[in-house]
């Protein structure tokens, strides 16, 4: 009986370790996701229809790099991507914020590259969760970008009718001055 209790206890501990154990990230990490608004999805996104067309990049994407990082700025890049998120002294999203990305739209079988910016009264935030005196930053962000244009021509795009939502997180990214 005692042997069975030990076997069951060891099996339970092994299961708990297997469920709860996750290898720690080895270095700086980030994730950026661009979501189409529900208004641009088929049937306005009801029932999850058309939900698989969001685009994203991470620290593991080809060409991934970190640019300037500070308490008021975050720059993340990857092949075809360039995010620059700037915050003013009051903590509001600055007009210098921009995202260049390969969109879900296609022309000639290739993704159309878009450049999007915030509105005059931008909606969003950049939250840093590490102390100010730390040499690295961790946190999350969200910003709405309603003004988009084609990168190739510079022509404004009436699309999206509804703003794109860009959100993500970053962890242990070293500060870099610009």
pLDDT in tens, 78-118: 999 999 999 998 889 999 999 999 877 777 888 788 899 99
pTM, to two decimals: 0.74
pLDDT at residue number 176:
79
Higher pLDDT, 49 or 77: 77
Q: What is the pLDDT of residue 15?
A: 52
Instruction: From 145, 142, 144, select the one nearest 168 (Cα to Cα).
Output: 142
Q: Is 77 helix (H, G, I), strand (E, B) or coil?
A: strand
Report the share of the chain in percent with pLDDT over 90: 35
């Amino acid at each position: 009986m005692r042997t069975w209790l030990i076997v069951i206890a060891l099996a339970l501990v092994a299961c708990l370790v297997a469920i709860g154990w996750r290898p720690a990230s080895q270095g700086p990490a980030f994730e950026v996701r661009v979501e189409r608004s529900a208004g641009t999805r088929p049937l306005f996104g009801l029932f999850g229809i058309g939900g698989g067309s969001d685009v994203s990049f991470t620290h593991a994407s080809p060409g991934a790099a970190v640019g300037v990082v500070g308490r008021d700025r975050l720059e993340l890049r990857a092949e075809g991507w360039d995010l620059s998120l700037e915050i003013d002294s009051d903590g509001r999203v600055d007009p210098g914020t921009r995202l260049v990305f390969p969109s879900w739209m296609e022309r000639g079988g290739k993704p159309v590259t878009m450049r999007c910016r915030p509105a005059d009264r931008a909606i969003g935030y950049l939250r840093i969760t590490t102390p100010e005196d730390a040499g690295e930053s961790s946190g999350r962000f969200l910003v709405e970008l309603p003004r988009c244009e084609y990168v190739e021509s510079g022509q404004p795009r009436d699309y999206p009718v509804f703003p794109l939502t860009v959100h993500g997180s970053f962890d242990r990214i070293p500060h870099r001055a610009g």
